[in-house]
Structure 1
Amino acid sequence: MNPLWKLREAAAEVATPERVEGQWPSLIGKLLAARGFTSPQEVDKLLFPKLVDLKDPLLLKGMSQALERLGQAYLNKEKICIYADFDLDGTSGLALLKTGMQALGFTEVLHYQPKRLSEGYGFHAAAVEDLKSQGVSLIITVDVGITAHAAIDKARELGVDVILTDHHLPAESLPEAYVIINPNQGTCESGLGYLCGAGVAFYLLRGLKRYFHDHPQLPKNNWDLKEVLDYFTIGTLTDMVPLVDDNRVLVKHGLVKLAETKRAGLRALLEELDLQDRALTSQDVAIRFAPKLNALSRMESGVLPIDIFLLDDVSKARDMVRQVMKNNSTRVQLQSDAESEAQELLKQWPHKDFVFVASPSFHRGVLGLIATKLTQVYNKPAFVGSVGEDGMIVGSARLPQGQEACLVEAMTTASELMSRFGGHSAAAGFEIAETKVAQFVDRLNSHFSDLREKPKPLEIFYDVQARLPEVSTNLMKWYDFVGPFGAGFAIPLIHFTSIQVLSKRELKGGHLRLKLFDPDSNATMEALLFTPTPRQLETLHNVPGFYDILGELQWNYFAGQKTIQILIRDLKAMS
């Protein structure tokens, strides 16, 4: 079924804000109107966000109690452990909190992250016992723990205090931690529910710096919180939390900080990816930079993301980044092979409303990526599993973009069949015995069949219509300045009409580079179509030809040159 393109409803074009200097493109005014900006004052706040406008960290429930406990730990010279989730949100929060605490004067700060494949997600009681044996008396969790009753109970039993920081939704009851800082616990009125795990850790660090400044017994220094905005930015962009309010302010400043970073590991990776010495966008971080780091925890090949984050030895950075790139190449190949195998296995799939596929050859570290790909190919919920030698299937599930359903609700209909499951409405995980798969599939079929109404096409909302001659370097200057883009403030989509595709060329990985031409103005432009779907490949069968195109604008850096290109989201042949 072809996606349905819809123009966003928009108010009148926004007038030029007072602080804007130079030519203000009409297309930018129309774009912002499509996003609901109706006054120059709103646009001014969007374009020029100020760090002084950030919310007070003490608005977070539990913050004051956590700061008092940390001040006590400093004075008593206690051994502290930061226990963080293994993903890039948890890793970023760990890096910024450890860096900041050491800068403030803490000397006994350990860190611990569970292994993705061998230990799995969560705050684990066994790890608490191990940390206690090392002399740890205070644990700070980052991006994890809000449902970890067993681990918290074990810590209480052993006399270890836990400052639990997280952003995930809690269950009906909260663990009995020393204190909980989570903007999404129902009784927190901070309005900071959009923070990721690293964001909550950053607000703890903001509070801690102020607490040290205000208390005469604690040391004072001029360490600047901006020093860890690179970490905050990586965590926020990779966890895909909304880029609104404080998140937007901090990421806009953090992208500048990341581009200028002196951290040996991060700098070496930027250089390896040819991202050095230029302004970074949120897409550079989320699409090019972060996946290389994420692959480290997915594959568990030795080097982990935190090793790159905290590395300060320039001589070691090059070798470590070479391992990062080699590891990512392995991840890409495993993912590609698994996607091909999955689509082959699904050729005889009988059910209309979802897909399920499992294989012993699927690497557990890439299951979520495969599931995401299958939702794009089939526009259906996808359940993907890796079959272990013990007959157990560990899996990931994903919903197609824009589909209204809940994966956790779907799996709840088969809860007694499963060893465990959980997650969010659009992304979840599960574990089930291979012998129970047939029953599981039957339950899923019943659930999704009951939800089925008239099949709905994927709806793609675009912001404005434009012609190729309107795309200029001046437009791009303001287009970039309107960013950063991400969840909650999506990359603008532009509808280009009556565009002639003169040629297409296949690139490594199956991507396509297209040459575009506007016959009315003789304007030309390059375009890129990543991983085209079978429908899109069929649509491009007749080239040269005329097309309507939905695309994003971006810079292409190649051979020292900087040119504008269109990243195509979808296209339709003109009749």
Structure 2
Amino acid sequence: MRWTLKPKPDPEAVKQLAQELGVENPVASLLIQRGVDTFAKAKKFFRPSLEDLHDPFLMKDMDKAVRRIQEAIEQGENILVFGDYDVDGTTSVALMSSYLETYHPNVATYIPDRYAEGYGVSYMGIDYAVDNDMTLIIALDCGVKAVDKVAYAKEKGVDFIICDHHRPGDSLPDAVAILDPKREDCSYPFDELCGCGVGFKLITALEQTLSIAEGRDFDFNNLIPYLDLVATAIGADIVPIIGENRILAYHGLRVINTAPRAGFKAIIQQVKKETLTITDVVFIIAPRINAAGRMVHGNHAVTLLKEEDWDAACKYAIEIETYNADRKDADKSITVEALAQIQENKEEGRKTSVVFQEDWHKGVIGIVASRLIETYYRPTLVFTKSGDKLAASARSVKGFDVYNALQECAEHIEQFGGHKYAAGLTLKPEQYEAFKAKFEEVVAATCDERLLVPEITIDAQIDLKDITPKFHRILKQFAPFGPRNMSPTFMTKDLVDTGYGKKVGADETHLKITVTQNGKGQRIGGIGFNLGDKFDFITDQKPFMAAYAIDENVWNGEVSLQLRLKDIK
């Protein structure tokens, strides 16, 4: 692993902020690295306020979207809420449809079938709207590139409102309104919202407008119960947890932990977890919501998220738990097969991993791509058969834009979409070999060699004596963590194991240590998952340095601080 130490902030600025806030220098230094360099910014950082959310009408087309929905409500039109089968899509559909139902009875939901329709707006979905006399489709977390499909809907007398956060193509669909902060002509102050976040801005604008129309004051408290959905989408979609996302995630987590909707409560009860962090949302709630769309159909997730009856929610949660267990089995077995394929076809110097087997489960190929990166750290594509086409999930390494790389291979691709680090695509079987060669060529030409070595970004070098309960208490308030606000990683030199270090775990793959610095001072325990092979570094009182996060360890009811080791040298 490559260790990269972030530059130290100006010592005078650190000292001044530490005095203003009444904190130790290491805390002030971490804050300045995150752009929090004044008392006022620190107040906003530690106490994210809903009052600091931007006016939703600053988003391009928001007025048009609100007017068209108002008109649909007044005219008694049938509205279809459409969204993808992933976490961002299903939470968006649950949010928008349940909100609209408080004003309007004629609201239906539609999640495309992962296998029959694939990602994004589908002709089958539009035909469903036409067959059921629906004249307005609100598409969430998709649609900004659906030029042909929106034109098809218009011919059939169906209007579109698009709430998306993906990068638009060269031309925009002919929709009534396109809410997407990544539009070139949109000057909304924050462009990192997820799809559910854009949906939340729309219901905020609607609530403001409908309140005035009904002659009552706008009350933001009416919208707070929806924030558990938004926080889940923010965590699952790996958007930066800064700006509005930090505010929405912070307050959404409070809803999840104090007044969760029945569906979330039923999931949490299954896993017996008390207080959830954003990391728990990502690794506990999100995979279960995702499992429905991966293994059966995304509709199951929307049903669970909208269910208000506790007994019914528990029943759905048990079903989803089964889907999640099936998903784990599938991704485990496919990962083994994919790794074997890479090893068999070992070609020296390859900068990409591209694998294909026609019977792999399409629902888990994205997870498998992420698993392959854990072993072979390079841009990765996992293909399977989907109808008469091949479908793939792409995942990338830190710092390399796989979406741009796919754009360079467009001549071999039927369609693709996604983000910098994750994308999906389909192509004709006869294009597979040519695409594979072109993708390797593009990555080899554009990806810096350094990016193919996993990087640990270290916030600061500290001493063990700096690790106090107060220091850790303040660090916990840096949460919620995520991209652009990661949990701090530290480095300490001259560590010595006290002789208790050992390999642990069924196959001794993990490393457990108790260390001091320079052989004296306070002792602190540490655990390094998958670091068992570094055991020789710590034997015989040899000094070493460690990169780690600070964690709480609970043992027999006692809580102590420990190092969660990321690497040792």
TM-score in same-fold range (> 0.5): yes
Corresponding residue for residue 527 of structure 1: 527
Corresponding residue for residue 3 of structure 1: 2
Paired residues of 2:165 and 2:180 also in contact (CA < 8 A): yes
What displacement does 1:68 show? 1.6
Paired residues of 1:11 and 1:38 also in contact (CA < 8 A): no
Counterpart amino acid of residue 397 in structure 1: A
Q: 2:396 aligns with which of 395, 399, 403?
A: 399
CA distance in 1, matches of 2:20, 2:268: 33
Paired residues of 1:355 and 1:382 also in contact (CA < 8 A): yes
What displacement does 1:453 show? 6.3
Corresponding residue for residue 439 of structure 1: 434
Paired residues of 1:8 and 1:462 also in contact (CA < 8 A): no
Distance 1:345 1:176, change over 3 A: same
CA distance in 2, matches of 1:233, 1:7: 29
What displacement does 1:159 show? 1.6
Distance 1:27 1:4, change over 3 A: closer
CA distance in 1, matches of 2:387, 2:113: 20
Corresponding residue for residue 286 of structure 1: 282
Paired residues of 2:48 and 2:247 also in contact (CA < 8 A): yes
What displacement does 1:217 show? 7.6
Q: What are the residue-to-residue correspondences of 1:90-489 with 2, within 5 Å? A: 90-103=89-102, 105-216=103-214, 224-276=222-274, 278=275, 280-300=276-296, 304-347=300-343, 348-352=345-349, 353-387=351-385, 392-403=389-400, 406-451=401-446, 457-489=453-485
Indicate whether 1:69 and 2:64 are aligned. Answer: no
Counterpart amino acid of residue 337 in structure 2: E
What displacement does 1:57 show? 0.7
Paired residues of 1:11 and 1:33 also in contact (CA < 8 A): no
Counterpart amino acid of residue 393 in structure 1: L
Distance 1:246 1:430, change over 3 A: closer
CA distance in 2, matches of 1:560, 1:313: 35
The superposition leaves residues 437-490 of structure 1 with CA deviations (integer Å, 9 ceiling, x where unpaired) of: 333333233333333666554443211122344333322221121221111222
Q: Give the aligned length.
A: 558
Paired residues of 2:84 and 2:90 also in contact (CA < 8 A): yes
Paired residues of 1:89 and 1:235 also in contact (CA < 8 A): yes
What is the DSSP-based 3-state SS (H/G/I as helix, E as strand, rest coil) of the residue aligned with 1:37? coil
Paired residues of 1:17 and 1:40 also in contact (CA < 8 A): no
Counterpart amino acid of residue 180 in structure 1: I
What is the DSSP-based 3-state SS (H/G/I as helix, E as strand, rest coil) of the residue aligned with 1:304? helix
What displacement does 1:409 show? 4.3
The superposition leaves residues 34-81 of structure 1 with CA deviations (integer Å, 9 ceiling, x where unpaired) of: 333332222122112221121111111111122122222222222211
Distance 1:301 1:508, change over 3 A: farther
What is the DSSP-based 3-state SS (H/G/I as helix, E as strand, rest coil) of the residue aligned with 1:312? coil
CA distance in 2, matches of 1:155, 1:388: 25
What displacement does 1:208 show? 0.7
Structure 1 range deviating more: 138-147 or 215-224: 215-224
What displacement does 1:335 show? 1.7
Structure 1 range deviating more: 349-358 or 168-177: 349-358
What displacement does 1:147 show? 1.0
The superposition leaves residues 280-311 of structure 1 with CA deviations (integer Å, 9 ceiling, x where unpaired) of: 32212123331222222112268732122112
Paired residues of 2:402 and 2:422 also in contact (CA < 8 A): yes
Counterpart amino acid of residue 24 in structure 1: V
Distance 1:450 1:40, change over 3 A: same
What displacement does 1:114 show? 0.7
TM-score, normalising length from structure 2? 0.89
Measured on the aligned residues, the alpha-carbon RMSD in Å equals 2.9
What displacement does 1:558 show? 6.7
Corresponding residue for residue 78 of structure 2: 79
Paired residues of 2:90 and 2:298 also in contact (CA < 8 A): no
CA distance in 1, matches of 2:258, 2:134: 35
Structure 1 range deviating more: 62-71 or 296-305: 296-305
Distance 1:107 1:92, change over 3 A: same
Identity of aligned residues (%): 25
The superposition leaves residues 360-384 of structure 1 with CA deviations (integer Å, 9 ceiling, x where unpaired) of: 4532112112222222322221122
Structure 1 gaps, min length 5: none
Distance 1:294 1:559, change over 3 A: farther
CA distance in 2, matches of 1:91, 1:274: 24
Distance 1:546 1:340, change over 3 A: farther
CA distance in 1, matches of 2:535, 2:223: 50
Counterpart amino acid of residue 520 in structure 2: D
Distance 1:107 1:9, change over 3 A: same
Indicate whether 1:51 and 2:50 are aligned. Answer: yes
Distance 1:219 1:473, change over 3 A: closer
Counterpart amino acid of residue 85 in structure 2: F
Structure 2 gaps, min length 5: none
The superposition leaves residues 79-117 of structure 1 with CA deviations (integer Å, 9 ceiling, x where unpaired) of: 2111112111112222222222233x2222111111223
What displacement does 1:211 show? 0.3
Distance 1:455 1:194, change over 3 A: closer
Paired residues of 2:79 and 2:108 also in contact (CA < 8 A): yes
CA distance in 2, matches of 1:305, 1:18: 49
The superposition leaves residues 414-453 of structure 1 with CA deviations (integer Å, 9 ceiling, x where unpaired) of: 4444443343343222334455433333323333333366
Distance 1:218 1:29, change over 3 A: closer
Distance 1:384 1:262, change over 3 A: closer
CA distance in 1, matches of 2:378, 2:272: 36
Paired residues of 2:524 and 2:561 also in contact (CA < 8 A): no
CA distance in 2, matches of 1:58, 1:222: 15
CA distance in 1, matches of 2:507, 2:57: 49
Structure 1 range deviating more: 476-485 or 553-562: 553-562
TM-score, normalising length from structure 1? 0.89
Structure 1 range deviating more: 514-523 or 349-358: 514-523
Counterpart amino acid of residue 437 in structure 1: Y
The superposition leaves residues 114-151 of structure 1 with CA deviations (integer Å, 9 ceiling, x where unpaired) of: 12233210111221121122121221111111111222
CA distance in 1, matches of 2:131, 2:329: 41
What displacement does 1:510 show? 8.3
